[in-house]
Amino acid sequence: MSLHDLLATVGGFTVSFCLLRLLWKCWCLYSEFILSEHWQVDLRTYGKWAVVTGATSGIGKAYAEELARRGLDVVLVSRSDLKLQRVAKEIENKFGRKTRIIQADFAEGDSIYPAIADALRDLEIGILGNGTMCFRTYTKDRRITQVLNCNMMSVTQMTRLVLPDMVARKTGLIINLSSITGVRPQPLLSLYSATKAFVIFFSRCLQAEYKSKGVTIQCVAPSLVSTNMTHNIKVNCCVKSASAFAREALNTVGQSSYTNGCLSHALQNVALALFLPDWLRLSTYFEKRQWKRRGCQETCSAYFKYE
C-alpha cells in the first residue's frame, strides 16, 4: 500500500468516525428531548410519594407541581413555613394530591436531618428532587459554610435518608439539580460553580453504583431558568420558564441520567463549548471584562467574597 493509499484510508476512517459520532449525538438529543415528549416513564412506578427540597419557588416548586400533576403525592421541604403551607394548598387544590410539609433550613448543617428522617419515616418515597439553592446567605461570618450546607450537604444527606429504602424496594429516582456552571467553571460565581460541580460528580458516581440496584440518580444541569435566583429574567428561546423546564426535564427521566433538562439548554451547552471554550472563559482578559461588565460589588458579595 502506497503512502497515498494509507493516508486516504486513515482519512476515510476518521471522517466516518466523526460522522457516526455526530449522528449518534443527534440521535441522543432527539430521543432525550423530542421522542421523550411522547414516550414518558410513568413516574408513579417509583413509589407513592415524591420529596422535593427548595419546593416553595422556582424550579423546585415547578417540579413539585409537575410531579403532582403526574400522580404523585408530594412532600415539600423548604425554609419558610408560610410559603410551604401556601404551595401545599395550591397543589392539593389544583391536582387533588396529598401533600406534607417539612420546614427545614439547610444552611444550618447536620443538625436538621434527624427531624427530616422522622417526618419521612412512614412514607414510601419513590422520588427525591434536590432543588434547594442558596447563594445569598444571611449570616455574614458563616456565609461559606451556609452555601456549602445548602448546595452540597443537603443533596448528600437527603440522598442518604431515602436511598436505603429505595434499594430495598429495588426502585427509586433521585433528581439532583446542578447547573451549567458546574459543567463549565464559571469565574465570579466561584463557590456556586464549584458546589454545582460537586453535585455532578456525586450524582454520576452514585448512578454508576446504584443503577444495577434499580435506583436511578439523574443529574440535571440547566442553563438559565426564570426564577427568583435569576431575578425572574424574561423568558425567551434561551431562558425557560420554571414550569416548562420542569415538564421537559421530567420527560428525560428514563432517557438520560445526565442532562441539561431541555433541548434549548443542551444546544447552549454545545455552543458554549464551541464558541466560548474554557481556555477563553478562564483567561485573565475575559475575567477582567466580566468584572467590568457586571460590577464586582454586586457579583462578589452575592456569590463569593472574603472580607
Which residues are annotated as catalytic? 192
Residue where the block lists cell 422522622: 118
> Which of 177, 215, 217, 219 touches ligand NAP by CB under 6 A?
177
**144, 33 in Cβ contact below 8 A?**
no
Separation between Cα atoms, residue 93 and residue 113, nearest integer Å: 29
Q: How far is the CB of 269 from ligand NAP (least distance, A)?
A: 12
From the list 11-19, 167-175, 220-228, 291-299, the region that binds ligand NAP by CB under 6 A is: 220-228
Cβ proximity to ligand NAP: between 92 and 105 the closer is: 105
Using alpha carbons only, what angle is made at residue 40 by residues 96 and 221, rounded to the nearest 5 degrees?
95
Within 8 A by CB and 6+ apart from 145, the residues are: 109
Closer of 133 and 206 to ligand NAP (Cβ): 133
Per-residue binding string, ligand NAP, 222-261, x by CB under 6 A, is: x-xx-xxxx-------------------------------
Residues 6+ apart with CB under 8 A from 199: 130, 151, 152, 155, 176, 177, 178, 182, 219
Q: According to CB under 6 A, which residues from 78 to 137 bind ligand NAP? A: 78-80, 83, 104-107, 131-134
Q: Which of 33, 46, 52, 56 binds ligand NAP (CB under 6 A)?
A: 56
Residue type, 46: Y
> In the block, which residue shows the cell 397543589?
91
**Does 150 sit near ligand NAP (CB under 6 A)?**
yes
Please give the residue whose beta carbon sits closest to ligand NAP in the complex.
Answer: 58
Residue 197 and residue 219 in contact, taking contact as beta carbons nearer than 8 Å: no
- The answer to whether 159 and 271 have CB atoms below 8 angstroms apart is no
Q: Give residues in contact with ligand NAP (CB under 6 A).
A: 54-60, 78-80, 83, 104-107, 131-134, 150, 177, 179, 222, 224-225, 227-230
